[in-house]
Amino acid sequence: MSTTSVMLKASFRVLREHRRLLVLPALSITAEAVVGASFAVPYIMTGHGSSADATHLTPATDVLLGLFSLIATTISLFFSAALFLAVADAMNGDEVRLKTALRGALRRLPTIFAWAIVSCTVSLVVRTIDKRVPLSSLVLSISWTCVSMLALPMMIFEGVGAVEGVRRSMAVFKSTWREQAIGTMRLGVYALLMFLPALLVFVAGLTTADGPDIVLSIAICALWLGLCSLIVSCLNGVYRVAVYRFATTGVAPEHFSALGLGKAFR
């Protein structure tokens, strides 16, 4: 069995044994939705919600959108950091305490905010380059995702800054690029397979002329997609912590040793 398969299988096991981990991405989605609504209301009220004005953004609107992106990114990274800390406890054989994980992430908020600024800046640069060189954003986004995959775990567990986190992540990437790339792609495939039932229900609902059936199918799709998103998000967090731990220490966590992760890496 390949290293990636072993790690993904073990990630499923960790999530199955610690289902409360799903609470953290659920809180993240909720918080981001609240922030999105708080920005959407003034955006629409200022007359920019119509399609006619969508391509004529004012400087004030640019600032508003940039601020929203920064806050939303910070929220997402904050709960990702809390998830990493909770996963680390699970891998140590300790009880998963969400309050402890959230407090730990709160103590690291300055570092998380700095990483959010870096992430938003990179996204802005990528979009700017894409306007001049079409399709370049795809290559740049994939490259940045790969080299920065372990940057946040580095910052959270080692207490380093954003620049050092990226540097260390790039160094580790040289020895774990296969696990990072293939693992990320497989998680994407798993997500797609999980989303397919919802798509079939949605299409089946649209083929009917009955209004209640359409509404019911949409509701089922929304619930199913939400659940799938939580599961995939948690799996991604577990997988990243596993790659980080083994890449930096060479020692497989308890759940992963039982599946032969050490042998797979050697």
Residues 39-67 have pLDDT tens digits of 777 667 665 555 445 445 566 677 778 88
Do 11 and 266 contact (CB within 8 A), yes or no?
no
- The rounded radius of gyration (Å) of the Cα atoms in the chain is 20
Backbone angles phi, psi at 206, to 5 degrees: -70, -25
Query: In 120-233, which ranges are E strands?
Result: none
* 256 has a pLDDT exceeding 60: no
Do 256 and 237 contact (CB within 8 A), yes or no?
no
* pLDDT for res 215: 77
SS3 191: helix
* pLDDT for res 125: 85
Q: Residue 108 gets which letter from DSSP?
A: T
* 265 has a pLDDT exceeding 50: no
Do 167 and 158 contact (CB within 8 A), yes or no?
no
CB neighbourhood size of 230 (10 A): 18
Dihedral of CA atoms 23, 98, 180, 76 in degrees, nearest 10, equals: 60
Q: Which residues contact 240 (CB under 8 A, 6 or more apart)?
A: 84, 149, 150, 152, 153
Count the alpha carbons within 13 Å of 216 in the hemisphere toward its beta carbon: 9
Q: Output 180 or 131, whichever has higher pLDDT.
A: 131
Binned at pLDDT 50, 70 and 90, residue 178 comes out as low
Q: Which residues contact 19 (CB under 8 A, 6 or more apart)?
A: none
Query: In the chain, which ranges are E strands?
Result: none
CA distance 259 to 87: 17
Q: Which residues contact 259 (CB under 8 A, 6 or more apart)?
A: 6, 9, 10, 13
Nearest CA-CA partner of 248 in 173, 178, 179, 182 = 173
CB neighbourhood size of 22 (10 A): 16
Lowest mean pLDDT among 1-5, 76-80, 169-173: 1-5
Q: Positive or negative CA dihedral for 174, 117, 108, 24?
A: negative
Backbone angles phi, psi at 133, to 5 degrees: -125, 90
Largest alpha-carbon pair distance within the chain? 60
* pLDDT for res 47: 57
Count the alpha carbons within 13 Å of 50 in the hemisphere toward its beta carbon: 5
Q: Output 172 or 261, whichever has higher pLDDT.
A: 172
* pLDDT for res 83: 95
Q: Output 52 or 91, whichever has higher pLDDT.
A: 91
Given its phi and psi angles, is residue 116 left (phi above 0), alpha (psi -120 to 50 degrees) or beta? alpha
